[in-house]
Amino acid sequence: MSFFGTNGVRGTANEYINPQLAIDVARSLGTYMGSEGIVAIGRDTRYSGDMLKSAAIAGALSTGLTVIDIGIVPTPSIQYYVRDHANAGIMITASHNPREDNGIKLIADDGTEFSRDGEREVEKIYYSKEFAAASWDRTGDLRTYTNANEDYLQGIIDSVDANSIRQERFRVVVDTGCGAGSLTLPFLLQKLGCEVVTINGQIDGTFPWRNPEPTPDVLTELADIIKSRGADMGVAQDGDADRAVFFDEKGHFIDEETLLSMMAKYMLSMKKGPIVTPVSSSQRMVDVAEEAGVELAWTAVGSINVARKMRDIGAVFGGEGNGGLIFPEFQYCRDGGMACAKFLEIIATGRKLSDIAERVPVYFNAKTKIRCNDLDATMERVRAQVADYDQQVDTTDGVKIWHKDGWLLIRPSGTEPIIRIFAESNTEDRAEELMNSGLQLVESCKE
Ligand code: MG
Q: For residue 2, what pLDDT is reported?
A: 66
Residues 157 and 60 in one domain: no
Cβ contact 198:258 at 8 Å: no
- Same structural domain for residues 215 and 317? yes
Half-sphere exposure of 79 (CA within 13 A, CB side): 26
Examine residue 327 and state whether it is found in any structural domain, yes or no: yes
Structure confidence at residue 1 (pLDDT):
45
Look at residue 1 and tell me if it is in a domain.
no
Distance from residue 336's CA to the centre of ligand 1 (Å): 9
Residue 2 within any structural domain of the chain: no
Which among 146, 178, 213 is the end of a domain? 146
Q: How far is the CA of 237 from the centre of ligand 1 (A)?
A: 8
Specify whether 290 is located in the same domain as 437.
no
Spans in the chain with pLDDT lower than 50: 1
Strands (E), 27-111: 38-43, 66-72, 88-92, 101-107
Does 3 fall in a domain?
Answer: no
Q: Which of these three, 306, 333, 358, is where a domain ends? A: 358
Long-range contacts, stretch 421-427, CB < 8 angstroms, 24+ apart: 421/367, 421/368, 421/369, 421/370, 422/280, 422/365, 422/366, 422/367, 423/365, 423/366, 423/367, 424/282, 424/283, 424/363, 424/364, 424/365, 424/366, 425/363, 425/364, 426/362, 426/363, 426/364, 427/364
Same domain, 62 and 174: no
Residue 415 is predicted with a pLDDT of 74
Cα 145 to Cα 97: distance, rounded to the nearest angstrom: 27
Do 345 and 373 lie in one domain? The reply is no
In the chain, the number of structural domains is 3
Domain of 382, CATH number, reads 3.30.310.50
For residue 78, give the CATH number of its domain. Answer: 3.40.120.10
238 Cα to the center of ligand 1, angstroms: 6
61 and 159 inside one domain: no
- Regarding whether 421 and 336 lie in a shared domain, the answer is no
Last residue within a domain, chosen from 312, 332, 358: 358
CA of 423 to the centre of ligand 1 (A): 24
pLDDT value, residue 7: 74
Residue type, 252: H
Specify the pairing of strand 399-403 against strand 406-412: antiparallel
Strand arrangement of the beta sheet that strand 275-278 belongs to: 296-299, 275-278, 317-320, 324-327, 331-334
> Both 237 and 376 in a single domain?
no
294 and 195: one domain? Answer: yes
Per the annotation, the verdict on 95 as an active-site residue is yes
Distance 177 CA to ligand 1 centre (A): 12
Please indicate, yes or no, if residue 341 is contained in any of the structural domains. yes
Whether residue 240 lies inside any domain: the answer is yes
Domain that residue 236 falls in: 151-358
Cross-sheet strand order for the sheet of 399-403: 364-371, 418-425, 406-412, 399-403, 392-394
Closest CA to 248 of 272, 286, 222, 266: 222
> What's the CA-to-centroid distance between 96 and ligand 1, angstroms?
5
Task: Say whether both 57 and 186 belong to one domain.
Answer: no
Catalytic choice (35, 77, 95, 261): 95
pTM of the model: 0.95
Residue 171: the pLDDT is 98
Distance 95 CA to ligand 1 centre (A): 4
Q: Is the same domain home to 189 and 85?
A: no
Do 210 and 137 share a structural domain?
A: no
Distance between Cα 144 and ligand 1 center (Å): 24
